[in-house]
Homo-oligomer: A and B are copies of this chain.
Amino acid sequence: MQHPTGQMTPTPMAQSRLPAHELIYRRLRDMVLYGDLAPGQAVTIQGLTSQLGAGMTPVREAIRRLISRGALETRGNRRVSVPRLKIEHIEEIIQARKWFEPHLTRRATVRATAADITALTGIDSALDDAILAGDLRGYLELNHRFHRRIYDMADSAILSEMADGLWLRFGPAMRVVCGRVGTQNLPDMHKAAVDAIGRGDADAAAAAISGDVLQGMQQLRASLADAGEVE
């Protein structure tokens, strides 16, 4: 029962008794995560207060939290904007995910319940639909949800939070790249992963997830190397 920082939304059944700064944070986080905010775009605090109809303080706190997680950055002295992902930062993210993802997948595999398997299968099925429909936003959201479900299964609060934080960094760039490439030839080794997890084969599951992640990250890197700038 611990999501005090609120970077994870475990259940969609959220209590509406949550403070405003928490709600604002989640909305802003999702906007970053699923590409509603473009890389380089400025994020003004007063713009958000009017756009979201909220007061200044909750918005400020939400922005600070996003900055703290690397989802936003302060440029120059005070202005805040969505970071433009640099090539060396992608390298770092690749290195990190190359360790985090198989590690968490292994732990998830040995802890997986039947409910977990059906949940993963369901998410992946919905993800296929989104791909076929060309629903970019749906793809991004379901893909993230798939991986985060595995994080949750791993029962590693700290490591999951760290791995999840990486998504905030490549989210905006991912949106741009997918918008260019299209949703058709996106990596999807999810079925192999779910299968391996269901069999309890941690090695195979870790390999499948690693392959999935690596493929996606390398596509991101390649697309970003082409057009060094993404606006």
Indicate with 1 or 0, residue by residue over A68-103, a CB within 8 angstroms of chain B CB atoms: 111001110010000000000100110110010001
Interface centre among A68, A75, A89, A157 (most CB of B within 10 A): A68
**Number of this chain's copies in the complex:** 2
A157 near B68: Cβ-Cβ < 8 Å: no
Query: Of B67, B93, B157, which is within 8 A of A89 by CB?
Result: B157
A225 shortest CB reach to chain B, Å:
18
A68 near B68: Cβ-Cβ < 8 Å: yes
Q: Is the interface of A mostly helix, strand, loop or mixed?
A: helix
Within 8 A of B (CB), among A19-63: 19, 21, 57, 60-61
Q: A12 on the interface (CB 8 Å rule)?
A: no
Inter-chain contacts of A5 with B (CB < 8 A): 67-68, 70, 73-74
29 pairs from A and B in contact (CB 8 Å cutoff) = A4-B73, A4-B74, A4-B75, A5-B67, A5-B68, A5-B70, A5-B73, A5-B74, A7-B68, A21-B64, A57-B60, A64-B64, A64-B68, A65-B65, A65-B67, A65-B68, A70-B158, A70-B161, A89-B157, A89-B158, A93-B158, A95-B103, A95-B159, A96-B158, A96-B159, A99-B99, A158-B169, A162-B162, A162-B165
